[in-house]
Amino acid sequence: MPASDHRPAAQIPGGAVFPHRHLTGIAGLKPHQILFLLDEAEQWVDANRAHAKPDKRLAGLTQINAFFENSTRTLLSFEIAGKRLGADVVNMHAAQSSVKKGETLIDTAVTLNAMRADVIVIRHGSSGAVQLIATKVDCPVLNAGDGWHEHPTQALLDALTIRRRRGSIAGQRVVICGDILHSRVARSNMLALTALAAEVRVCGPATLMPAAIERMGVTPFADFDTALDGADVVMMLRLQNERMSGAFIPSTREYHLRYGLTDERLARAKPDALVMHPGPMNRGVEITSSVADHPERSAITEQVEMGVAVRMACLDVLTRRARGVEGWA
């Protein structure tokens, strides 16, 4: 992406900076739009830390968190974000099984719409499901993860964490390691970080590496030690339980041998390299406890903190048109 695409958000008037109705993925966003969301999130980091007087700018708005796939931390993060901004937050846990067949997903979308939700946050197990729902509702839709496709707020919170800890994103050597094939976190991060001019390396066993990955503008590695050379950021992915024993890798101990982030491995990265993980972690599999809990290097709890701020920013920005914020109407 040419550097000229990076324009400070302040130079662009009102809603023109972020003309999107929904946030279904990073794929549709321009670099300056990603930066705009990061800039917006900064104020909420400060406010949350200061336990500031609540800003109830979403008061009177209904936020529905429709989670068709199990989640604890992302759901909690979106709920806290909405409540901090004064929204009425309703959580809908739809069992995946009851929504899988027939028209039900569309029917669910139409039902939520009829209840006059002002913003809907959706997680679904099928790639593209959030986009499908977005076409059927009148309010903004926020993707909280769809299949293997995208998880845009995770990429935004990761980018914000990197920017705050490393000073910038451009030029940073970021290694994403683990199950790239099945990871929406990896896809959204590859899009966001390459758009913001980071050097992205992806690493994992061939069985968990999608074909044509280099078309994302990233460099694939099979050997973790080589990939770690000179890294500024090491982002570990969670290995799902069902993929641990035989289907994609022989065993967790073999995986740990080749791709576990240990202190010795981390020494190959830059001395001040940052360690990240979207959680929840499999301690002793993809990451050892001493690395995960490293007081200076690990940014894992900070990622969780940034998550709330980024989601507050997204909820705020996406509802500005409906709230008639000046310059956005």
Partner 1 sequence: MKRFFANSRLLSGADSLSIDGDTIVADVQDDAEVIDCAKLARNGGILAPGIIDLGVFAVDRKACRAGGITRVGLMPDQSPVLDDPGIVRRAALMGKPDLWVHPLAAATQGLAGADLAEMAINAAAGARAVATGRRWISDSGVMRKVLAYARDCGLTVIAHAEDSGLTANAVATEGETAMRLGLAAAPSIAEALAIARDVALAEETGARLHFRQVTTAAGFDLIRRAKARGLPVTCGITPAHLLLSDIDILDFRTFAHLSPPLRAESDRQAALAALADGTIDVLASGHDPRGPEEKRLPFADSEPGMSGTETLFALGMTLVHNGTIDLPRLFELLARNPARILGVDAGALEPGLAADIVLIDPDAPWQISGAEMHARAGNTPFDGMPVQGKVIKLWKGGREIA
Residues that bind partner 1 in the complex, under the rule CB under 8 A: 27, 100, 102-103, 105-106, 124, 126-129, 131-132, 146-150, 184, 187, 210-213, 215-216
Q: How far apart are CA 201 and CA 226, in angstroms?
A: 10
CB of 296 to partner 1, least distance (A): 34
Nearer to partner 1, 189 or 288 (CB): 189
CB of 48 to partner 1, least distance (A): 31
Nearer to partner 1, 191 or 273 (CB): 191
Residue closest to 198 by CA, chosen among 226, 162, 164 = 162
Burial 205-219 (b: 16+ CB within 10 A, else e): beebbbeebeebebe
CB of 222 to partner 1, least distance (A): 17
Q: How far apart are CA 327 and CA 233, in angstroms?
A: 37
CB of 122 to partner 1, least distance (A): 11
Nearer to partner 1, 113 or 252 (CB): 113
Nearer to partner 1, 40 or 146 (CB): 146
What count of residues does the chain have? 329
Nearer to partner 1, 183 or 298 (CB): 183
DSSP for 273-319 reads: -EEE--S---BTTTB-HHHHT-TTTB-HHHHHHHHHHHHHHHHHHHT
CA distances from 265 to 156, 160, 227, 277, 323 (A): 27, 25, 10, 16, 50
Tell me the sheet residues that pair with 201: 175, 219
CB of 148 to partner 1, least distance (A): 3
Nearer to partner 1, 107 or 264 (CB): 107
Residue closest to 185 by CA, chosen among 94, 71, 84 = 71
CB of 153 to partner 1, least distance (A): 16
